[in-house]
Copies of this chain bind each other. A is one copy, B any other.
């Protein structure tokens, strides 16, 4: 069939090096109690045979896998990629691999995914998923998987949480600019809890200055929707979940001959680098998602060692005024 090595086991290494498996095990785990000569001999044999330990067997024997499970609702948005990137980078520093569990915004899948998470015996988990509620998190906890949950305040022995506070920044903004057109909150179908939470917060705190308008989640559909919209209502102020949506609206306005920000203003709740790439640049609530990811990963690693003092971390977003809104 080919030149495939049948995977070499610790047993064969031991035999080839003339020692017992225990010794080989000590060498690959860098334990001190091995003579330098023995160690060298074993290491050479490992090299020569191309031996690689089997992480499954190690995991089974130690009940530690050096794997962190990451639960996300999607990986197709820039800000989620930034988040993911932060987690992975830091995870690597601490020697953790990451296994991805994606739920696609569906509650059913979310439940199933938890099941897989448990089964997979990750050492810890980071959850940034809108469909999971507290009971799901408790479920994970009950299987003894230390978990950091982003965007959902949950307390527990093995749980830490990161709150993403967009609402204060946006309420500030709305309050400061309440004179003029009512703000239109652009509600995207199937949007996650993070954004829904912001919407709810705005409803509570700024009821008088906010209306809601619904759209599908596609740049092109939003764009054409608003081309029509602006034909009858040639002005407005729009609060959008993401920068691509904000761009869709401002592009529609511009293409129809309206002016941004004179006639139409847009503002994005979650900004990415594209907020400052777009023209006009899009005002947004900046939050460094890469940083959020890094912190999250740092928190799980601490949680694993029972060294995490502060179980609750709050990220505040900062409103950044750009060209798509007036001062």
Contacts and interface: CB of A to CB of B under 8 A. Distances in A.
Interface of A: 1-7, 50, 52-57, 59-60, 65, 67, 74-78, 80-82, 84-85, 88-89, 92, 97-102, 104, 115-116, 118-121, 141-144, 157-158, 219, 244, 247-248, 251, 254, 273-274, 276-279, 290
A177 to B, nearest CB: 25
Which are the 8 A-B pairs with shortest beta-carbon distances? A81-B81, A56-B59, A76-B85, A52-B118, A75-B85, A4-B144, A56-B60, A247-B277
A71 to B, nearest CB: 12
A155 to B, nearest CB: 12
A228 to B, nearest CB: 19
B82 A76 contact: yes
Contacts of A118: 52
Contact of A274 (B7, B57, B115, B274): B274
B54 A119 contact: yes
A196 to B, nearest CB: 22
Nearest to A5: B142
A194 B158 CA distance: 43
11 contacts: A4-B141, A50-B142, A56-B65, A67-B99, A75-B88, A76-B85, A81-B81, A98-B99, A99-B100, A278-B279, A279-B279
Contacts of A273: 219, 244
B97 A52 contact: no
A74 B85 CA distance: 7
A219 B141 CA distance: 42
Number of copies: 2
Given A52-B118, A54-B119, 4 more contacts: A56-B56, A56-B59, A99-B99, A244-B274
A185 to B, nearest CB: 21
Nearest to A114: B52
Most chain B CB atoms below 10 A, which of A52, A77, A115, A278: A52
Given A7-B144, A81-B76, A278 B278 contact: yes
Contacts of A104: 89
Contacts of A144: 4-7
Contacts of A52: 115, 118-119, 143
A296 to B, nearest CB: 15
A77 B120 CA distance: 28
Contacts of A248: 277
A77 B57 CA distance: 35
Nearest to A272: B78
A310 to B, nearest CB: 19
A53 B118 CA distance: 9
Nearest to A4: B144
A269 B93 CA distance: 33
A229 to B, nearest CB: 18
A157 B3 CA distance: 10
Given A5-B144, A157-B2, A84 B75 contact: yes
B88 A53 contact: no
